[in-house]
Amino acid sequence: MASVIEVGPTPGQTAQEASSGRRSYWRKLARHPFFWPGVILVLLVLAVAVFAPEIATRPYWQIYANTGLSATGGPLPPSWSTKGFLLGTDWLGRDVFSRLVWSARISLQVGIFASVISGVVGLVIGLVSGYFGGWVDMVLMRFTDIMMGFPALFFLILLISLIGPSVEVIYMTMGLLGWPSIARFARGQVLSVRKETYVDAAMAGGASRTRIILRHIMPNIVTPVVVLVSMSISGNIIYESTLSFLGIGVPDPIPSWGKMVSGGLSYLYVAPTLVIFPILAISVTTIGFNLLAEAFNATANPRGARGGHRG
C-alpha cells in the first residue's frame, strides 16, 4: 500500500515548504531507473495513437483482394518496397501496419478511459466511506464486496447482447466494474489521514465537511490513488485484448490487437508475423505503463516498493 503523500500545505506548513516537498518528489521520481524508459515507451504509443491517421499508410478497413493476397489466396509477407505492404497483409488482404497503428488508439482509449472511470468512482466511494464511517461505511463496503464478486465478463457479454458491441460499451463497463479495489484502497488512506492533527485542527476551527474532504484529505490521498489507477491501465489493455481475442470485443471492422492475434493464429505457421506484431505492440504498451506505475509506486512508498531506487 502506498504511503500518504502530502501535496498541499497543512497547518504548520507553509506553501513554500509544500512546494519544496513536491519538487523533491518529482526529482526522486525522475531519478528512478524505471521512470524514463516508461515515459519513452508510453509517449511512443501515445504518439502512434494520436497521429494514427498520418502514420497509417492505408485505411484499416480496406480489403485489397487483388493486390493484398498471394496467388494462393494467403496473406502477403512484409515488404519494404515503396508500393508494398510494410508489415504484410492479413488473411483478408488488409494492411497489417495500418491496422496495428489504429489498434493503438483503440487499446489506449479503452485502457485509459476504463481506468479513469474506475478511479473517479472508487475515489468518491472511498472518500465518503472512510470519512463518514458508521452505517455509511458499512453499506458502501458491503456493496463494494458484492461488486468485487460480480462476474464482470458475464455482465459485459450481457450488455453487448442487449446494446450491441462498441468501444464505449466496453470501457464504460470495465470502468464501472473495476472500481471496488480502488475504493477499498482510498478508504484505507482516508482512515489514515483522518487521524492527522491538521484534520483535527480543521474540525476544531469549524471547517465544513466538504472543505475538510476536498482541502485536507483528498489532496493527501490522490497521489497513491493515481498510482493504483495507472497500474490498472495495462491490465485493462490486456483485458480488452483478451475480449477481442475471444470475439466479444470491439466490432468489425474496427481493429484490435487481440482480434489480430486471434485471426492470425490460423496462419501461424504460414505467416507468423500476423501474431508476432500485435503481441509485440501489446507487450511494449503494457511494459511502458507498468514501468511508470512501478516508478510512481517506488517513489511514493520507498520502503514498500519492490526493487525501488534509493536515490
Write the pLDDT tens digit of every residue in 126-158. 999 998 888 999 999 999 998 888 787 787 778
Q: Name the pLDDT band for 228 (thresholds 50, 70, 90).
A: confident
How large is the average pLDDT for residues 47-63?
91
Task: Tell whether the model's pLDDT for residue 303 goes beyond 60.
Answer: no
- Whole-prediction pTM: 0.81
Q: What is the mean pLDDT of residues 22-31?
A: 77
Structural contact between residues 7 and 223, judged by C-beta atoms closer than 8 angstroms:
yes
pLDDT per residue over 69-110, tens digit each?
888 888 999 988 766 899 999 999 999 999 999 999 999 999
- What pLDDT does 22 receive? 59
Whole-angstrom CA distances from 199 to 1, 63, 183 are 22, 63, 21
Give the C-alpha distances (Å, rounded to integers) separating 125 from 119, 129, 222, 240. 10, 6, 13, 25
What pLDDT is stored for residue 79 in this prediction?
86
Task: Write down the mean pLDDT value for the chain.
Answer: 83
Residue with C-alpha cell 501489446?
282
Among residues 131, 129, 103, 90, the alpha carbon closest in space to that of 216 is found at 131
Domains defined for the chain, CATH in brackets: 22-58+88-300 (1.10.3720.10)
pLDDT tens digit sequence for 231-270: 889 889 988 888 888 888 888 888 999 999 999 998 988 8
Q: What are the tens digits of pLDDT across the range 177-204?
A: 889 999 999 999 898 888 778 777 877 8
| Distance in angstroms (rounded) separating the CA atoms of residues 296 and 292 | 6
Of the two residues 36 and 296, the one the predictor is more confident about is 36
